Chain A
């Protein structure tokens, strides 16, 4: 596995060589630096830690400053660990990963946090149909969940019953998205289709091979 941290910029569409209109998400990916290399002997498992997006020195605590000093890099906003990173990789502290680890046309996975939707009912949150009818004696039950269980036995509602509640804001991974274009001079990736989260949110682009 290999990957990189990025930021969702927005969506647009481009035309491919066949003249097809392709919806794309623009992601500013990297450059990321290696801030820690974990090994089986020392930490019990193999992983590398990548950092992305500069932040000011004065916004960095002393402990983190020491962590970044070890890799000889400026303070970063986002730190993420990648386990099972390219078996036998030769990455060292302070190494830089850029967007050119990806190729046009290959399939990658994108991890992000979906947009928060607030408190939503069962129709939006779980895809219930509602009562489907505004007539036949129905009154203000158009988006109601219906029965949530039997009566005296079991005289309780089962755990996990799908009801209204907070929706969105979850970690979502989309797999097998195609890379349409790589623009190394601006650290940009164009990915076919949508990606979870609002514009400006952090995403992880990874490849399993």
Chain B
């Protein structure tokens, strides 16, 4: 179904920063602004991208990392003004767009082959 013209007009007004291309299987570092009272600081979240969902201002992506032995996943809205930067550390070779199978894998099996450029 094609999107309504007016819907497009509204969505085009939302500013989305340009980020480097990344997809499921890539390892990225998301630099996120955190506001504590009056102070503002940056926090990095590095992990594997599990999926990208949606389009336009509603697009989100999920990043998974292992923090002290426990899997942690975070969902970021791509259009969020709190995202300072996204850095692609590694391009991974995966066969699907959503790699939830990674959740069940640990150790050596949870590795993703790196793409040769």
Residues of A within 8 A of B (CB): 9-10, 12-15, 19, 21, 26, 28, 183, 186, 188, 190, 199
Contact = CB atoms under 8 A, between A and B. Distances in A.
Contact of B81 (A19, A183, A186): A19
Contacts, number: 46
Interface of B: 3-4, 6-7, 9-11, 13-14, 35, 56-58, 77, 79-82
A118 B67 CA distance: 48
Given A19-B81, A183-B9, A183-B10, 15 more contacts: A9-B4, A9-B10, A10-B7, A12-B7, A12-B10, A13-B57, A14-B14, A15-B57, A15-B77, A15-B80, A26-B6, A26-B7, A186-B6, A188-B6, A199-B4
The main secondary structure of chain A at its interface with chain B is: strand
Contacts of B11: 12
A1 B3 CA distance: 34
B58 A12 contact: yes
Given A15-B79, A21-B80, A10 B9 contact: no
Contacts of A10: 3-4, 7
Contacts of B82: 19
A15 B14 contact: yes
Contacts of A12: 7, 10-11, 14, 56-58
B100 to A, nearest CB: 24
Contact of B80 (A19, A186, A190, A199): A19
Given A26-B10, A188-B10, A190-B10, A15 B81 contact: yes
Top 5 A-B residue pairs of the complex, sorted by shortest distance between their CB atoms:
A19-B81, A10-B7, A9-B6, A26-B10, A13-B58
Nearest to A23: B58
Contacts of A183: 9-10
Contact of A186 (B9, B14, B58, B79): B9
Contacts of A28: 6
Nearest to B33: A19
Contacts of B10: 9, 12, 14, 26, 183, 188, 190
A77 to B, nearest CB: 17
A133 to B, nearest CB: 30
B58 to A, nearest CB: 5
A134 to B, nearest CB: 27
12 contacts: A9-B10, A10-B4, A15-B80, A19-B35, A19-B80, A19-B81, A183-B9, A183-B10, A188-B9, A188-B10, A190-B10, A199-B4
A9 B7 contact: yes
A188 B9 CA distance: 10
Contacts of A188: 6, 9-10
A15 B13 CA distance: 11
Most central of B6, B13, B14 by chain A CB within 10 Å: B6
A186 B58 CA distance: 21
